[in-house]
Structure 1
Amino acid sequence: MKSLFDTNIHLTGKVLDLRLQRQNVVMSNLANITTPNYKARRLEFEADLQAALNRDARGKITRTDEGHMPSTFAADGFRGDLVKGFKHRIIHGEDNVDLDKEMAVMAKNTLMYNALGTVMQKQFEGLTTVISEGAK
């Protein structure tokens, strides 16, 4: 059965979920900024997402043969990897989380989340237009 939604809506929804998870990880890092021996965490998913979409490092779709169509993305089996224990800055044994770095990650993540939300909104507006024009 054909779906009313194209596959991009499912992909965009999955990436929105991962961006929300990343925001929660950054907030956890900021909440523990003065906690002794706390190691900041990261949620990395972009490289795995590109691999799942069968794209190369420059963002272009890869194919082994010119006659092959690119593979489709299955959002159900994809998730981000939580990275623990990476090298961090320590000041006098107290600062285990770099505030500037965390704020930069949060700002970039917020911009990307909002952009994806706008893309999703435009897709639904397009569907609404199609439905309302078809009813006339």
Structure 2
Amino acid sequence: MAINLDRLVGFHQKALNIRQDKMEVIAGNLANANTPGYKARDIDFKQAMASARDQQGQGMVRTHENHIAGSMNTSWDLQYRIPTQPDTGDGNTVEAQAERNEFLDTAMRYQAGVQFLDGKIKGMKKALSGGQGA
């Protein structure tokens, strides 16, 4: 019987990739917290996961021979974050504390996903070794 690793970890691997991208977007927001006119961006995790499921197996398509070939599959759209605080006059919508909180939440969920995947892989190793330890 063949082992399908994508069925074992595919969903969780996609979730980790989206969370990693989300943390990069948040880090970009924090780096531009003092940039006049900068608009904070975000990735909607639920929408991104639905999009990743819908486009499973599809990669990037080169539309011109001069385009760089790549395998990045980021089909989710960056959205602008709606500010909860009034504009300070410079047009920047980054709310540093909210961004830090969102980063910490995403990082904790990322770490939980890594630990869950680690448990799945250890379980698979134990099953393959016949229960003789991993």
Shared fold, TM over 0.5 = yes
Identify unmatched segments of 5+ residues in structure 2: 59-72
1:38 & 1:87 partners in 2: Cα distance?
Answer: 13
Aligned-partner Cα distance in 1 for 2:19–2:56: 14
1:94-105 correspondence to structure 2 within 5 Å: 95-105=92-102
Q: Who is 2:125 aligned against?
A: 128
Output the TM-score relative to the length of structure 1.
0.70
Q: How does 1:1-136 map to 2 (within 5 A)?
A: 2-5=2-5, 7-47=7-47, 49=49, 75-77=56-58, 79-84=75-80, 86-88=81-83, 89=85, 90-93=87-90, 95-133=92-130
Percent sequence identity is 23
Q: CA RMSD in A?
A: 2.7
Alpha-carbon distance in structure 2 between the residues aligned to 1:48 and 1:96: 23
Amino acid at match of 1:16: L
CA distance in 1, matches of 2:104, 2:39: 21
Q: Which whole-Å CA distance do the structure 2 matches of 1:2 and 1:16 have between them?
A: 25
Q: Provide Cα deviations, 1:45-103, integer angstroms capped at 9, x if missing partner.
A: 314535876xxxxxxxxxxxxxxxxxxx764457422113x432422427531011101
Q: How many residues are paired up?
A: 115
Which amino acid in structure 2 is aligned with residue 112 of structure 1?
A: R
Look up the equivalent residue of 1:132 and give its one-letter code. S
- What TM-score comes out, normalization by structure 2 length? 0.71
1:34 Cα deviation from its structure 2 partner: 0.3
Could you list the runs of 5+ residues in structure 1 that have no partner in the other structure? 54-72
CA contact (8 A) 2:14 2:49 kept: no
Question: Structure 1 residue 44: deviation in Å?
Answer: 1.2
